[in-house]
Amino acid sequence: MLLAFKQRLVLTRNGVKILQRKSIAIAIPASVVSDIPHLREKTSKIGLIGRAAAIFGVGEIIIYKDELKLGQRAEMDLIATLLNYMETPQYLRKKLFKLKPELRYAGTLPPLRTPHHPLGKKAKELKEGEYREGVTVAKSGKNMFVDIGVDKLALIPNVRLPLKKRVTVKITGVNRYVTASLANRGEVPHYWGYNVTLWDDSFGRLVAKRLFDLKIATSKYGVFFPDVVGKIAERWRKSEKILIAFGAPTKGLYEIVKLEGLNLDQIVDFVVNTIPGQLTETVRTEEALIATLAVFNCAFGFKV
């Protein structure tokens, strides 16, 4: 059971049971790769972040500005491009991404191997009711044809969409033709990748403007996680939208929000140290990310 996709049944007004899932977002600073000069190493670091997000079922990766006096758009675009490239199924990448300098070393990115990155390439292997990611490639009257990564295009009847648009579909028939219907990612009953958000503003503005039920910051100056696990667990059970935030290579979240004239303890619900007794001077963002998500997944992943 993964963090972002822990499910529970609730009743709608008409008495129909539906699934609700916790939405886990992580926030990382734009300067997360600023300490690395070469694009190859930057790509490798972003690859670790994308893999960690997928392993633990993170639903959203938010990139925020942490150097308010500097233009960080280039760094933000680089991180977002590589994370989006990783999240896109391999069979769609050439159709959705143009050749650009940021992707020079994209071939070194590790595969996610998540449910929406299937390996099968034969239409006959498809099953009715399964979900696929696709891209619209042709129109015929009121129908659309979608490439879903198999040897036949999927037909979606009575739908008009722009060409080269990425869509999520549900397979409705596998006979002479493959037929499908449009689906919302939220209805897929298992992990279906992450979204990337470019937050072109500060961390303080992020926690003030975005509506999260539970906001957790990580810091080596935070409270040891074992000392507050019970309090966090109580809030975790009641929360649907959860934010877990991380600092930069050269400065932590306390320093980052101090530049805004803010106190970290006053703008988030918990500041925790998930690596108590660390024996290195610093812990890199991608290292803190893996350690924190692993600890949280063990502590809360199975709780309703």
Contact 82, 50 (CB under 8 A): yes
Domain 3-114+194-300 fold: Alpha/beta knot (3.40.1280)
* Matching residue, tokens 């499908």: 180
Which run of H or of E encompasses 285? helix 285-300
Strand partners, 132: 169
Per-residue pLDDT of 175-207, as tens digits, reads 888 999 999 998 999 999 999 999 999 999 999
Per-residue pLDDT of 105-147, as tens digits, reads 999 999 999 999 998 889 999 999 999 999 999 999 889 999 9
Contact 289, 28 (CB under 8 A): yes
pLDDT at 303: 39
Question: What are the start and end residues of each CATH 2.40.50.140 domain in the chain?
Answer: 123-185
Listed in sequence order, the residues at least 6 apart from 92 whose beta carbon sits closer than 8 Å to its beta carbon are 133, 134, 135, 147, 149, 166
The total of other beta-carbon atoms located within 10 Å of residue 25's CB is 23
Query: Measured between alpha carbons, how far is 95 from 147 in angstroms, rounded to an integer?
Result: 10
Question: What are the start and end residues of each CATH 3.40.1280.10 domain in the chain?
Answer: 3-114+194-300
The answer to whether residue 3 scores a pLDDT higher than 60 is no
- Residue 105 sits at φ, ψ, to 5 deg, of -110, 20
Average pLDDT over residues 250-259: 94
pLDDT at 244: 98
* Matching residue, tokens 């449009």: 182
- Could you give the residue ranges of the DSSP H alpha helices within 30-119? 39-55, 73-87, 93-96
Q: Would you state the structure tokens that stand for residue 15, as one six-digit string?
A: 């008495």
Superfamily for the 123-185 domain: Nucleic acid-binding proteins (2.40.50.140)
Rg (CA), the chain: 21
Query: Measured between alpha carbons, how far is 140 from 32 in angstroms, rounded to an integer?
Result: 46
pLDDT at 226: 94
CA 11, 16, 19, 25 torsion-angle sign:
negative
Strand partners, 145: 138, 155
Q: Sort strands 195-202 and 60-65 into parallel, antiparallel or unpaired.
A: parallel
Per-residue pLDDT of 32-68, as tens digits, reads 998 898 999 999 999 999 999 999 999 999 999 998 8
* Matching residue, tokens 């891209």: 135
The answer to whether residue 9 scores a pLDDT higher than 50 is no
pLDDT at 137: 96
Q: Would you state the structure tokens that stand for residue 275, as one six-digit string?
A: 């690596």
pLDDT at 14: 42
Judged by phi (left if over 0) then psi (alpha if -120 to 50, else beta), residue 15 lies in: left
pTM score = 0.91
